[in-house]
């Protein structure tokens, strides 16, 4: 099926709404949302619907911190319409379907038989694996979507599942990236293997799923030039409360290559001011990392703590600047980058996608261009394997020149 652009999806959805006699006020509301979202995507070089971009956009517009396009029970009607508009685009871009009604919440499995099995599976994971919460949530979501397919095909017993049912399940996510497809199949095989080994079914259904020999090849994010990094940082108003916080956040990504989740998890106790060091445990790799507290970075953090950080008891460094002053989330960090990039005026090439991870890759790329060894770059960025660092070898390495490994000097900050 040929991919349809966001604008084409929007126009088709509005046409369907018109044929279903939606009111003019409703049509106007959806048209405005689709138009604004299309403009936002054009500005960051995205032509086709992307779930992560949609979530980022919703969080940016609403100030929420959602991790999926689902109602959290607290939003106003305006936000519900925004969420529904994004879900309409998602469904139409994937399978050309116009969904009349969406659940406002992430529902539990309704069928008692399937819910009972799923609850046992989740307990099994909790008792036997040291999975992070987000990993368990992903597995729950994948199993839930699988069950929805089975119920639609009137399958209400494990032993009634056929190869055709498995193919129908896979078809619901086959449009996703190879990595996502691999994760989904792995999660479902684990679920059905559990069912078989615990005598919940007579056949090992996991064997009906294909064996994926996926060659994992890390894709390098788009990067910025040194001049663009300076433009991005210089565009921030460092006299404002939000500016002091956002400047320190972006410096952490620029100078130390920290991921958004590690910036969000950063605690006051992670900083040793006497030794001028930052000690963290990376969320992605669970690897301990010791990083230098560079001068400009250290002063920006001090400026934020003394003059902008809410004066409340919280172990986390970066907080929202509005009550109740909760710790920033990874999606919140990403939204800050997106907003600051947009406001900087940096021209984004059409078709190119940039996220805060681009700053991490920019650091890695510049260090490589300065003839820094791969093991040293791996150590600086906290890569779990040198293979991750080898990705940078694919980039243009013209005009190499030697210099000390000091991000302060790399960026002339």
Burial bucket for residue 104 (CB in 10 Å: 0-12, 13-18, 19+): middle
Instruction: Kindly state whether residues 45 and 134 are assigned to the same domain.
Output: no
For residue 47, is it within any domain? yes
Asked if residues 310 and 327 have their Cβ atoms less than 8 Å apart, the reply is no
Least confident interval from 33-37, 63-67, 114-118:
63-67
**Banded pLDDT at 5 (limits 50, 70, 90):** very high
- Separation CA 272–CA 316 (nearest Å): 15
Instruction: Kindly state whether residues 313 and 201 are assigned to the same domain.
Output: no
Last residue of a domain, one of 68, 95, 122: 95
Contacts of 84 (CB under 8 A, 6+ apart): 102
Instruction: Kindly state whether residues 349 and 269 are assigned to the same domain.
Output: yes
For residue 215, is it within any domain? no
For residue 238, is it within any domain? yes
pLDDT at residue 56 in the model? 86
Indicate which residue of 140, 340, 361, 383 is catalytic.
Answer: 383
For residue 105, is it within any domain? no
For residue 360, is it within any domain? yes
For residue 216, is it within any domain? no
| Percent of residues in the chain assigned helix, strand, coil, to nearest 5 | 55, 5, 40
Give the Cβ contact number of residue 254 at 10 Å.
26
Least confident interval from 86-95, 118-127, 129-138, 388-397:
388-397
Q: Let me know if 3 is a catalytic residue.
A: no
Burial bucket for residue 142 (CB in 10 Å: 0-12, 13-18, 19+): buried
Of the candidates 36, 46, 57, the one whose C-alpha atom is nearest the C-alpha of residue 339 is: 57
Q: What's the pTM?
A: 0.48
* pLDDT above 60 (res 107): no
Instruction: Kindly state whether residues 37 and 64 are assigned to the same domain.
Output: yes
For residue 325, is it within any domain? yes
Average pLDDT, rounded, for the chain: 78
Contacts of 162 (CB under 8 A, 6+ apart): none
Least confident interval from 18-32, 258-272, 371-385:
371-385
Instruction: Kindly state whether residues 365 and 403 are assigned to the same domain.
Output: yes
In the chain, the number of structural domains is 3
Contacts of 194 (CB under 8 A, 6+ apart): 121, 124, 200
Instruction: Kindly state whether residues 79 and 202 are assigned to the same domain.
Output: no
Instruction: Kindly state whether residues 280 and 200 are assigned to the same domain.
Output: no
Indicate which residue of 71, 230, 357, 370 is catalytic.
Answer: 357
Per-residue model confidence as pLDDT tens digits over 288-300: 888 888 888 899 9
**Owning domain of residue 376:** 226-411
For residue 102, is it within any domain? no
Instruction: Kindly state whether residues 355 and 277 are assigned to the same domain.
Output: yes
Q: Tokens 């509301």 — which residue? A: 29
Indicate which residue of 28, 96, 276, 284 is catalytic.
Answer: 284
Per-residue model confidence as pLDDT tens digits over 90-101: 878 876 777 655
Question: End-to-end alpha-carbon separation of the chain, Å?
Answer: 48
**Banded pLDDT at 117 (limits 50, 70, 90):** very high
Instruction: Kindly state whether residues 330 and 373 are assigned to the same domain.
Output: yes
Read off the CATH number of the domain in which 341 is found. 1.10.443.10
Per-residue model confidence as pLDDT tens digits over 384-400: 443 444 444 444 333 33
Read off the CATH number of the domain in which 196 is found. 1.10.150.130
Indicate which residue of 87, 340, 360, 361 is catalytic.
Answer: 360
- Separation CA 73–CA 361 (nearest Å): 37
Last residue of a domain, one of 49, 66, 95: 95
Per-residue model confidence as pLDDT tens digits over 146-157: 998 898 889 999
Asked if residues 66 and 72 have their Cβ atoms less than 8 Å apart, the reply is yes
**Would you list the DSSP string of 53-75?**
HHHHHHHHHH----SSS---S--
Instruction: Summarize the confidence of residues 172-182 as an average pLDDT.
Output: 74
Instruction: Kindly state whether residues 254 and 143 are assigned to the same domain.
Output: no
Q: Let me know if 153 is a catalytic residue.
A: no
Q: Let me know if 284 is a catalytic residue.
A: yes
Percentage above 90 pLDDT, the chain: 26
Q: Let me know if 230 is a catalytic residue.
A: no
Indicate which residue of 139, 259, 340, 361 is catalytic.
Answer: 259
Q: Let me know if 360 is a catalytic residue.
A: yes
Q: Let me know if 394 is a catalytic residue.
A: no
Instruction: Kindly state whether residues 235 and 304 are assigned to the same domain.
Output: yes
Instruction: Kindly state whether residues 20 and 138 are assigned to the same domain.
Output: no
Percentage above 70 pLDDT, the chain: 75
């Amino acid at each position: 099926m040929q991919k349809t652009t966001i604008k084409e999806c929007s126009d088709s959805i509005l046409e369907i709404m018109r044929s279903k006699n939606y009111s003019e006020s409703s049509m106007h509301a959806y048209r405005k949302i689709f138009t604004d979202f299309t403009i936002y995507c054009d500005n960051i070089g995205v032509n086709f619907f992307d779930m992560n971009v949609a979530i980022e956009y919703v969080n940016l517009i609403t100030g929420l911190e959602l991790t999926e396009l689902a109602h959290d029970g607290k939003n106003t009607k305006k936000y519900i319409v925004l969420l529904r508009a994004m879900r309409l685009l998602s469904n139409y871009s994937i399978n050309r379907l116009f969904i009349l009604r969406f659940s406002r919440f992430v529902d539990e499995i309704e069928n008692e038989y399937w819910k009972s099995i799923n609850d046992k599976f989740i307990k099994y994971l909790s008792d036997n694996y040291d999975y992070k919460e987000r990993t368990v949530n992903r597995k729950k979501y994948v199993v839930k979507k699988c069950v929805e397919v089975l119920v639609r095909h009137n399958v209400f017993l494990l032993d009634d599942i056929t190869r055709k049912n498995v193919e129908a399940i896979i078809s619901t996510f086959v449009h996703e990236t190879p990595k996502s497809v691999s994760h989904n199949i792995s999660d479902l095989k684990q679920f059905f293997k559990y069912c078989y080994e615990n005598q919940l079914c007579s056949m090992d259904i996991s064997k009906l799923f294909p064996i994926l020999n996926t060659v994992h090849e890390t894709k390098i994010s788009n990067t910025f030039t040194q001049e663009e990094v300076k433009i991005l940082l210089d565009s921030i108003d460092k006299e404002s409360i939000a500016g002091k916080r956002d400047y320190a956040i972006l410096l952490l990504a620029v100078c130390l290559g920290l991921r958004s989740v590690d910036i969000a998890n950063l605690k006051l106790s992670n900083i040793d001011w006497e030794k001028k060091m930052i000690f963290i445990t990376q969320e992605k790799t669970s690897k301990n990392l010791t990083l230098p507290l560079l001068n400009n970075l250290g002063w920006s953090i001090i400026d934020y703590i003394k003059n902008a950080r809410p004066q409340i008891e919280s172990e986390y460094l970066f907080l929202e600047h509005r009550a109740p002053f909760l710790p920033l989330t990874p999606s919140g960090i990403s939204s800050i980058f997106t907003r600051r990039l947009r406001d900087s005026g940096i021209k984004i090439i059409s078709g190119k996608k940039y996220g805060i991870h681009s700053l991490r890759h920019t650091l890695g790329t510049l260090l490589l261009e300065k003839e820094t060894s791969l093991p040293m770059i791996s150590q600086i960025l906290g890569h779990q394997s040198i293979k991750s660092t080898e990705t940078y070898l694919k980039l243009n390495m013209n005009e190499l020149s030697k210099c000390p490994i000091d991000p302060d000097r790399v960026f002339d900050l």
